[in-house]
Amino acid sequence: MGSELFRELARMVVALADIQELRSFALPYPGLAQRALDRTVMHCLDIGETPPRSLPELWEWCRTRSADDPLFAVPASLVTPGTTLVHPVGRMPTRSCLEVASHGQDGGVVAHARALLGDLEARCGTGERYRKCRRFLARHPVVDQRDRFGPGWSKDVWSRVKDLYGPLPESLLVDDKFLRCPSCGLPALPRNGAVPVPRPPAIAADIWCEGEECLRGNPPELIREPDQARILRRSLRTFLVLPHRTEEAAREALDRAGIDQEALLGPLPAYRLRSTGIGTVDIQVYDRLQPALLATHLSDSTPSADRVLVVVPDELAGRDGYRNAFTDALPALLRHRLVLTTPVNLVPDLGRFRREEKGDA
């Protein structure tokens, strides 16, 4: 019950964050928020907790009470303990919130990102044109005036993708300025609500960025005329822009090892590797903070090849418990077919499979 409530609240947080005047929460509340509030009240009465009195209080709960709080009691095998839905510094949906909101039949935010990319792919007509557009989106989560005159700007690409951008929301502005993380390129906000004085190296804890995981040697970039800038939809910022760095690192590793790849049709960053000597091998690239939710999502469909290497960033896979949580959440039958790896481990892992295959023969 608590897990279901946690997911419903994740969806509420995502929906409310998309409504501009996030902090006003005036009555009457949006229907979805009122329903989530009612469900929380019922749940609290069931477990003998004092219920929240208002939507602002419920929002605060989403910021301070984590998945493993007795209120939700989400098992650690599903969501990493300590995960909150609203970021304590950014006061925006956390990446985990978007992942939790995507868990379930309709696929939530991830499905939204895929639908947008699917439409783009259809509009582009050719795979090559689509990949060009997708690369542009991944490299330009925010487009400002300077970009339009910069190198590599393509009018043709922009005309196809500009509908996927919108104005910068007020909630991402500080003193009428917009901050961009130099590492992931996504929106950033200072902890104390003031534009930080540039004094590298900035302490990561001073600043929140949508990527959440960035190490910052440099202060955020400042966009002084935010009304001239456009920002990519949230679902694509999280599920297209973030994994793109890992996709490029994985492809570089394969290129260096002389392993050819062929892009697979469809919106996903997925490739089939050529002549690996171990049957058909695909790679799929993700950047997800919740390994068990990723594994559950992958188990929903039949693997696209004999082996699918699921590439995630090295920093994530190296984290305590990440690999185990991923593997434990896979059905036993799929564990040898869906293998978690990273850009650094990708080529060595392929070598290991080849040796195993030879050993078996």
Phi, psi dihedral angles at 155 (to 5 degrees) = -60, -35
- C-beta closer to Zn ion: residue 144 or 210: 210
**From the CB of residue 326, how many other CB atoms can be counted at a distance below 10 Å?**
26
CB of 326 to Zn ion, least distance (A): 23
DSSP-based helix, strand, coil % in the chain, nearest 5: 45, 15, 40
Binding residues vs Zn ion (CB under 5 A): 181, 183-184, 209, 211, 214
| 3-state DSSP assignment of residue 107 | coil
- C-beta closer to Zn ion: residue 183 or 342: 183
If phi over 0 gives left and psi between -120 and 50 gives alpha, with beta otherwise, what is residue 49?
beta
CB of 297 to Zn ion, least distance (A): 24
- C-beta closer to Zn ion: residue 288 or 297: 288
Phi, psi dihedral angles at 38 (to 5 degrees) = -60, -45
CB of 313 to Zn ion, least distance (A): 13
- C-beta closer to Zn ion: residue 141 or 343: 141
- C-beta closer to Zn ion: residue 2 or 90: 90
DSSP 173: E
User: DSSP string of 315-333?
Assistant: HHHTSTTHHHHHHHTS-GG
Distance between CA atoms of 281 and 191, rounded to whole angstroms?
Answer: 44
DSSP 301: S
If phi over 0 gives left and psi between -120 and 50 gives alpha, with beta otherwise, what is residue 18?
alpha
CB of 238 to Zn ion, least distance (A): 12
Check if the beta carbon of residue 212 is closer than 8 Å to that of residue 308.
Answer: no
CB of 277 to Zn ion, least distance (A): 39
- C-beta closer to Zn ion: residue 214 or 293: 214
CB of 92 to Zn ion, least distance (A): 13
